[in-house]
Chains A and B, each alone.
Chain A
Amino acid sequence: MMSRVLVDFKATVLEFSRSPSAIFWTLAFPVILMLLFGAIYSGGGGGTYNLYVQDFDESPESIAFLDNMTGTGLVNIVKVNTSSDAAQVISDNSLTSFLIIHAGFGAGLNNTENVTLEFRMDEGSQAALTNYNVVKAVAEQMNLKAQNVTSLISLDVKPLVSDQFKFLDFFLPGVLALTIMNSTVNYMVFTIVEYRNRGIFRKMMTTPLKRPEWLASRILWQMVLGFISLLLIMGIGVYIFDVVVTINLMTLALILAGTALFTAMGMAVAGLIKDEQGAGALAGAVTFPMMFLAGIFFPLEMMPEYLQTIAKAIPLTYLADGLRDSMIYDNMGGALENLIIVSGLALVFAALGTALTRWKQE
């Protein structure tokens, strides 16, 4: 029995190694995704926006003010020469916000006079809004300081996603979950439909090979691919983007359970639709919405209430959550809870998949 599984496993690996599209979707796709998002979110100071500033004051106070803003980690100050025309700089660089510190800012503060900062912004822009909030917060902080009540209240500006976890930390386990889903569902759907329509199952059935043996070999290979994806994604995250990730037994268990779940889901899809194009379309219809609704690219909390409800009905959500719990947040309780849900769903889909795909013809 074991030898038949191994013979089939060897054939599976050979087929994979000669299929450029399979290699792309399972290995290159997650790598590209990681590099792309890594570059977007960590390049130029980790999720900060540029704020162009014209400082006509150049006093210790104005410099301190700008330093405080840089200190929040949310904005990146770009100084503009005082001889330039502000409107020209704004249009030349397509800016959505612009800060002008007028002369007399430092002196005014020292004399506890009212001073005014000029902040020009495009109110529809997210970046401008962030910059505005930073300017406002820092200004309030300095107001308090000027009134000598700093010891009572101090405003500590922090990014909304807490400092400790950068976006990439959040994103990395999601990419892993996404890769496992895409790779496994598509592999199972296309393999089953192809083998069925080309009569390969029929030929297999004339030998002692049994369906559970075939299935075992294919699932085993998808699990191996899951671990390879883990290593690739982690390698990029850790070595290029300094993501802090831990791998524990829970991570591995989640990868195994996730692979089993999506294998079964692929079987169910292939069982429902007989022709190649239809099955491919259904596979896409199943995986594509999950990709966006399961909180892979952004936290679920950012989505409207009704979408969050939908997300809770999506299997991928639990795999991604579980992987985040185990790899990033060190929340073993949460990881275990998600592992149980994923395993339960795997059983449900396995029953469905087995019922829908029969080897033996009528």
Chain B
Amino acid sequence: MVEAHIEVKGLRKEYENLIAVDGIDFKVRKGQVFSLLGPNGAGKTTTVEILECLRTATAGEVSILGLDLNQSSKIKRRIGVLPQGFNAFDLLTVKENVDYFAGMFENPVDTDELLEWVKLDGRRKELFKNLSGGMKQRVGIAMSLVNDPEIVFLDEPTTGLDPGARRDVWRMVSNLKERGKTIVLTTHYMEEAETLSDYICIMNKGRIIVRGTPREIIRDHGGSPVAIVRGAGDGGLQALSPGFPDCELVGVDLKIPISNGRRVSEILNTLDNADVHYDEIVIKKSTLEDVFLKLTGQEFKGGEEDDE
């Protein structure tokens, strides 16, 4: 039995006219990458900020590394945090910024090694304000590790980054996991959660609506894969609808849910027999995006707005 690093029971956070977190429970195991996934306003950031001792809970029990939230100064020494929309001192250099936060702890790690690890050793003397978004985020990751924490909280670490910088962050997260850190990630990028996580809780409107490993979630809630016949148009629809009543025309593409491999060949045969022209056929497996759509009936919208 692997020990639980975080245990949350019945956590609630109410504001004057809003329930941000509506009674949630979860456990995060040691060494796991745990993701809270959800659209803006789902309550992800509120939840992690309570765990980081930045906010107080209205109700519920929380245990972090066996400590309750009243022992915040002990907790703070054993966790690392990359806050949402992270920023550091504009007029301090990369190295000075990381050293500042290292200086807040009693036994900090070697900051030069950290900067090497986030590939910023060549930018040590650059002012923070002159860095690109991706580099700033890497400074933030380095800062979250200055106290060699057991749990690292990364709150939307890739929001606003270009795809290249996003992948850099992903590599670092995987590397941290290899080094045995427990990671709590919040994101509104489905792909990010799917790629990085061992365990996912999907949140919506303050509640966890589904949980499990990415595979389990997709298996149990994702529905069947879909064949997409591009460019088949009306002719394709007429040919397929007798045998596949759930066939759907989207623009000039056809979407046909398939429950197993057998039907893909049926689709191909039907199209060939009717002599329908098409551009390409792709089989798309179900994603977390589909899961979210199916569970909530709403389109999943990522975005740059703050999660509050």
- Chain A residues at the B interface, C-beta cutoff of 8 Å: 3-4, 7-8, 10-11, 14-15, 18-19, 198-200, 202-209, 360-362
Contact = CB atoms under 8 A, between A and B. Distances in A.
B104 A11 contact: no
A10 B15 CA distance: 38
B83 A202 contact: yes
Contact of A200 (B53, B55, B88): B88
A207 B101 contact: yes
B88 A361 contact: no
A236 B205 CA distance: 65
30 contacts: A4-B104, A7-B103, A11-B89, A11-B96, A11-B100, A15-B91, A18-B91, A18-B127, A199-B86, A200-B87, A200-B89, A203-B81, A203-B83, A203-B88, A203-B101, A203-B140, A204-B104, A205-B53, A205-B54, A206-B52, A206-B54, A206-B76, A206-B79, A208-B73, A208-B77, A208-B104, A360-B56, A361-B55, A362-B15, A362-B55
B54 A207 contact: no
Contacts of B52: 206
B174 interface: no
B105 interface: yes
Contacts of B150: none
B286 interface: no
Given A3-B103, A208-B76, A209-B104, A14 B81 contact: no
Contacts of A361: 49, 54-55
A360 B55 contact: yes
Contact of A199 (B53, B76, B84, B143): B84
Interface in B48-88: 49, 52-56, 73, 76-77, 79-81, 83-88
Contacts of A14: 91-92, 96
A15 B93 CA distance: 10
The winner among B53, B92, B100, B147 for most chain A CB atoms within 10 A is B100
A3 to B, nearest CB: 7
A202 B53 CA distance: 10
The winner among B86, B89, B99 for most chain A CB atoms within 10 A is B89
The winner among A4, A200, A203 for most chain B CB atoms within 10 A is A203
The winner among A8, A15, A199, A206 for most chain B CB atoms within 10 A is A206
A204 B54 CA distance: 10
A205 B53 CA distance: 8
A172 B22 CA distance: 62
A19 B92 CA distance: 11
A14 B80 CA distance: 25
A302 B76 CA distance: 58
A112 to B, nearest CB: 80
B104 A7 contact: yes
> Which 7 residue pairs of A and B lie closest in terms of their CB atoms, listed nearest first?
A7-B103, A206-B81, A207-B104, A198-B87, A18-B91, A15-B91, A202-B83
Given A209-B104, A360-B54, 11 more contacts: A4-B104, A11-B92, A11-B100, A18-B127, A199-B86, A200-B89, A203-B101, A203-B143, A206-B52, A206-B53, A208-B76
Contacts of A209: 104
Contacts of B54: 202, 205-206, 360-361
Nearest to A207: B104
Interface string B256-289: 0000000000000000000000000000000000
Contacts of B76: 206-208
